[in-house]
């Protein structure tokens, strides 16, 4: 039996709350596990509660760069108190979109580096946000273990992708890859052992998804698109992604 994995989704987002029982039921029927990432300490509490409801929900907790001013000490305490229950640390990273001053930038870097250190301490995979900051993220990560690190929603250049591959990162592609030529080109240049798939729900996608919020049921479509781009059967692509996901998670 092949397991499908959504490597990055925000199931603790309020938009999913009314439908969680149905989502878990769908995951059970699909044989799908989801890495449920968090944005801040409050979100992390919800993620930990969700994980208690189903072993298919793999809890990741962290501070998103948008929330870098949130309570870092509280997040570190939450990780230390729950490290045996956690599947990983995330979503963490850098994003200049949310910086209005040098102090904001320094704060983001401090939060990112602190949570990377905690992830290393407890040997946890990490899910990294690197929008408009990929070179800075790659530079910082030279000081940390990248063997179980994911650059989620990879959106860099071919050169940056090669650098990420040389450093041992995993990279993930989502629903936009189904209709975006640039993402398809990146996928075709990614080492097969480092490919993961994600939805990043509840992000909304256009084209064939008609601006619907991403749902775990999108994952087979992403796998199918990847299989065509890499000239594989759907089953072979699914098996490869299962192996890669388990390697990333260390299971």
- Tens digits of per-residue pLDDT, 148-193? 999 999 999 999 999 999 999 999 999 999 999 999 999 999 999 9
Q: Are 180 and 37 in contact (CB under 8 A)?
A: no
Which pTM value belongs to this model? 0.97
The two beta strands, 57-61 and 32-36, are parallel
Alpha carbons 204 and 87: distance in angstroms, whole number: 26
The pLDDT > 70 percentage for the chain reads: 100
Q: Quick one: which of 168, 154, 150 has its CA closest to 87?
A: 150
Residue 176, both tokens? 């936009």
Q: What mean pLDDT value characterizes the chain?
A: 97
User: Exposed, middle or buried by CB within 10 Å (0-12, 13-18, 19+), for 210?
Assistant: exposed
Q: Could you tell me the pLDDT band of residue 136, with boundaries at 50, 70 and 90?
A: very high
Q: What pLDDT digit, counting tens, does each position of 117-126 carry?
A: 999 999 999 9
4-249: what fold? TIM Barrel (3.20.20)
- Cβ proximity of 226 and 235 under 8 Å: no
């Amino acid at each position: 039996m092949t397991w499908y994995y959504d490597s990055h989704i925000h199931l603790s987002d309020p938009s999913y709350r009314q439908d969680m029982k149905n989502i878990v039921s769908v995951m059970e029927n699909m044989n799908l596990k989801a890495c449920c990432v968090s944005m801040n300490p409050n979100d992390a509490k919800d993620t930990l509660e969700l994980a208690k409801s189903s072993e298919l929900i793999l809890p990741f907790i962290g501070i998103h760069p948008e929330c870098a001013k949130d309570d870092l000490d509280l997040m570190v305490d939450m990780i230390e108190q729950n490290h045996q229950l956690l599947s990983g640390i995330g979503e963490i990273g850098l994003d200049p979109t949310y910086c209005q001053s040098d102090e904001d930038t320094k704060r983001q870097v401090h939060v990112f580096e602190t949570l990377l250190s905690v992830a290393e301490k407890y040997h946890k995979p990490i899910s990294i946000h690197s929008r408009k900051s990929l070179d800075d993220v790659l530079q910082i990560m030279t000081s940390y273990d990248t063997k179980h690190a994911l650059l989620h929603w990879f959106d860099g250049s071919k050169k940056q992708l090669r650098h990420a591959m040389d450093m041992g990162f995993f990279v993930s592609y989502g629903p936009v890859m189904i209709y975006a030529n640039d993402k398809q080109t990146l996928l075709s240049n990614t080492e097969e052992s480092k490919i993961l798939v994600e939805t990043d729900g509840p992000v909304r996608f256009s084209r064939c998804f008609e601006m619907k919020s991403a749902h775990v049921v999108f994952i087979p479509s992403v796998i199918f698109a990847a299989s065509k781009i890499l000239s594989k059967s759907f089953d072979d692509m699914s098996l490869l992604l299962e192996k890669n996901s388990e390697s990333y998670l260390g299971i």
